[in-house]
A and B are shown apart, each in its own frame.
Chain A
C-alpha cells in the first residue's frame, strides 16, 4: 500500500472517530443515531482491512471474509439495538 493511501486512511479514521462521538449531540433520533454510528464502524473497519492490513491486494476470499466481519458485527449490533 502506498504511503499516500496510508495517510489518507489514517486521516479518515480520525475524522470518522470524531463524527461518531459528536453524532450523539446532533442526532436526536436514536434509531438514526445507531445506524450512523454503526455505518461509521463499517467504513472504519473497511479502511483498516483494506489499507492497514493490506487485504485490498490479497486473495478475494480473505478480503471478503474480513470485510464481512466489519459489516456483519455492526449490522447485528444495530438490529439488537433497533429491536
Chain B
C-alpha cells in the first residue's frame, strides 16, 4: 500500500512544459545573473556615478512596470488553470488580458527611454547608463519574445489545440513567468537600492 502511494507521488511530480524550454530558461537566467552581479559590482566601484544616474530614472515608471508584469504573469497562471479545467474561452480571455498588461509595460518602458533621450542621456553617457540600457533593453527584448509566444499560445488555445496535451501551453507560460522573475530582481537593483 505504502509502495503504491510512493509510486503515485513520483508519477504526480511532473515538470511543466518540456525539458528543452527549461534548459533555455536556465541559460537565460544565467546570462541575466552575470548582468545583475556586474551591475552591483560596478556600482560598488563607482558609487557616486550610480547614485547620480539612479536619481535621473523614473521610479514610478519602474513600479508601474513591476505591477504590470506581476499582473500579466498572474493572468497567464489563471489561463493555465482554466485550460487544465477545459475552459478554453476563459483561458483565451485571460491570455489576452495578460498581453494587455505586457503592452502597458512596453509603453511605460518606451516612455522612460524617450524621456531619458530627451534630456540628452544615451547608452554612451556613462557606465551606469551603458549598463542600464543594456540590461533593461535586453529584458525588453525578452518581453517582446514572450509576447510572441503568448500570442501563439492564445491562437492555439482559441483553435482548441490544448484538449489533451497542455505541454506547449505550460512551456510558453513558464517562459513568461521567467521574464517576470527577472524583472523582480532587476527592479530593486536598478530603481530601489
Contact = CB atoms under 8 A, between A and B. Distances in A.
B193 A34 contact: yes
Nearest to A82: B44
A77 B44 contact: no
B184 interface: yes
Interface in A32-67: 33-34, 37-38, 40-41, 44-45, 48-49, 51-55, 57-60, 62, 65
A57 B33 CA distance: 25
A76 B41 CA distance: 10
Interface residues of A, number: 44
Contact of A80 (B29, B37, B81, B185): B37
A52 B78 CA distance: 9
Interface in A3-17: 3, 6-7, 9-10, 13-14, 17
Contacts, number: 108
A81 B39 CA distance: 11
B144 interface: no
A69 to B, nearest CB: 6
Contacts of B170: 54
Given A1-B81, A77-B40, A81-B40, A57 B66 contact: no
A37 B66 CA distance: 14
Contacts of A17: 63, 66-67, 70, 187
Nearest to B180: A48
Interface in B1-37: 12-16, 22, 26, 29, 33, 36-37
A2 interface: yes
Residue from B22, B36, B185 whose CB has the most chain A CB atoms within 10 Å: B185
Nearest 10 pairs of A and B residues by beta carbon = A10-B74, A80-B40, A52-B177, A52-B77, A6-B77, A13-B70, A53-B177, A54-B16, A59-B13, A48-B181
29 contacts: A2-B81, A3-B78, A3-B81, A6-B77, A9-B74, A10-B71, A10-B74, A10-B77, A20-B188, A21-B63, A24-B192, A33-B193, A40-B188, A45-B185, A48-B177, A48-B180, A52-B76, A52-B77, A52-B173, A57-B13, A58-B14, A59-B13, A59-B15, A73-B37, A77-B40, A77-B185, A77-B189, A80-B37, A80-B40
